[in-house]
Amino acid sequence: MSAPLGVILAGGLATRMGGGDKGLLRLGDRSILDHVIDRLEPQVTGLALNANGDAARFADLGLPVIADSIDGFAGPLSGVLAGLDWAAAQGASHIVTAAADTPFLPCDLVPQLQLAAEIAGVDLALAATPDGRQPTFGLWPVRLRDDLREALNGGLRKVVMWTQKHNAATANFPDSAAFFNVNTPEDLETARGIL
């Protein structure tokens, strides 16, 4: 399987952080998103950011910004769908998604997801750690985008419900800390300590 396109999911409301864009918060001398990009970009053939609202606030990142096509903040699957539609326009077969608030994501995320899918004989895989599934980190085939669109338009919002229907493989990562995400001001302080 060739390297997929990458999509960073930043379409959430960040309510526990008081709103705004968590990915633009400073972590060290750069933004959280800069850290995510540094880790994901070498693993993919191209990278886009899924975010809603004014795309100009991300202009300095130099990435295409793709908005959800499903109205009303339909959750991470809506961002996955936006990424799949973007990838289809590029002629790509797969995307890998990562959350915008996870500055320490694994540097082998993509090959581990691809390996899990290959071993299982499927083309869809999600990451997991000893703490459980990490459903915003996945390998998603473009061929399922219309099925996903139909599910979202029908009201489905749970990643695991949709991925189980398609027999998603699981890529197990031993280090839960690699998926540490910044949801609260306290989490940001913890991330600064880890950095």
Tell me the pLDDT band of 16, cut-offs 50, 70 and 90: very low
Residue 183's CB is within 10 A of a number of other CB atoms, namely: 15
Is residue 74's pLDDT more than 90? Answer: no
Q: How far is CA 20 from the centre of its chain?
A: 18
pTM: 0.92
Contact 84, 143 (CB under 8 A): no
Is residue 132's pLDDT more than 80? Answer: yes
Residue 142 lies in domain: 5-194
CB-based contacts of 178, cutoff 8 Å, min separation 6: 104, 105, 106, 129
Q: What is the CATH number of the domain that holds 60?
A: 3.90.550.10
Query: Over the stretch 172-192, which tens digit does the pLDDT of each residue have?
Result: 999 999 999 998 888 889 888
Compute the distance between CA of residue 36 and CA of residue 38 in angstroms, rounded to an integer. Answer: 5
The whole-number average pLDDT for the span 75-102 is: 95
Is residue 15's pLDDT more than 60? Answer: no
Is residue 17's pLDDT more than 60? Answer: no
Tell me the pLDDT band of 69, cut-offs 50, 70 and 90: confident
Query: Over the stretch 24-46, which tens digit does the pLDDT of each residue have?
Result: 889 999 999 999 999 999 999 99
Lowest-pLDDT choice from 3-12, 78-87, 102-111, 139-148: 3-12
Structure tokens at 43: 């693993």
Tell me the pLDDT band of 19, cut-offs 50, 70 and 90: low
Q: What is the average pLDDT score of the chain?
A: 91
Compute the distance between CA of residue 9 and CA of residue 55 in angstroms, rounded to an integer. Answer: 14
Looking at the structure of the chain, the number of domains it has is 1
% of the chain with per-residue pLDDT over 90: 74
